[in-house]
Copies of this chain bind each other. A is one copy, B any other.
């Protein structure tokens, strides 16, 4: 029986009061690690962790999603199974309580990989996935945040002292006792984003990727950068084709993103050997790691 590896993240950026994220990250990674230690599958672990992150209003995904310029949430999410590269992705849904569960249903119960907007919501309802009214996401905090950002006429990611460079998003990567890898990412995007804007979280190869032959990756950052460079896929290439170790490949993918297009953000990675790595060029990347029987929380 091999050991398990699990990492989760709650976004990169400039995080105010990072300590308020500590207990949530610890609670959620503990649940995921328990699932893996009791023989559960990597796919179930990443889905569970992202669902719990979505249900915590601290994080910019699910319940805590930021609001777009029209004052409504538009969520994106994707999940990928490293065993056979099966995947499900969803973008632009405003009525689904847990977008990661919809992404998984797309993977397992549709003929398609990527569904968007009203069509994805129609599929969610047909599958009996929990739908909520728009006001579920319109919390006092998010409405006030949108008003502040609108005053400055900016778009904003979720973690930023100035609220104009915030980088929310949540994600999870896992390796189970059988050595299978999986990855999942979910986000509400950027505060005051244009109606219909999609970042990298829903895009396989950009914000999420998993392949047992290389690694599992979940990214967070400025989606407009990550979309253009396929950084999640890059880590996998560097491991599989250039035989880099997990940590070097992660750093190199991050370095290329920055060198080539001044990309801003970070990523968490678990290699096929179970090694956990992260990289970022933002002041903070909120993450938690369960590896070798220990849990580590990183708030910077």
Contact = CB atoms under 8 A, between A and B. Distances in A.
Interface string A249-285: 0000000000011000000000000000000000000
Interface band, chain A: 35 or more
Most buried by B among A74, A120, A198, A203: A198
A300 to B, nearest CB: 28
B111 A224 contact: yes
The majority secondary structure among interface residues of chain A is mixed
A157 to B, nearest CB: 12
Contacts of A118: 117-118, 195-196
Q: How many copies does the complex hold?
A: 2
Nearest to A68: B119
A123 B196 contact: yes
Contacts of A123: 194, 196
Contact of A91 (B116, B195, B224, B238): B116
Contacts of A113: 223-224, 227-228
Contacts of A197: 112, 114-115, 119
A244 B197 CA distance: 36
Given A80-B228, A114-B227, 7 more contacts: A112-B193, A113-B223, A114-B198, A117-B119, A204-B230, A230-B230, A241-B242
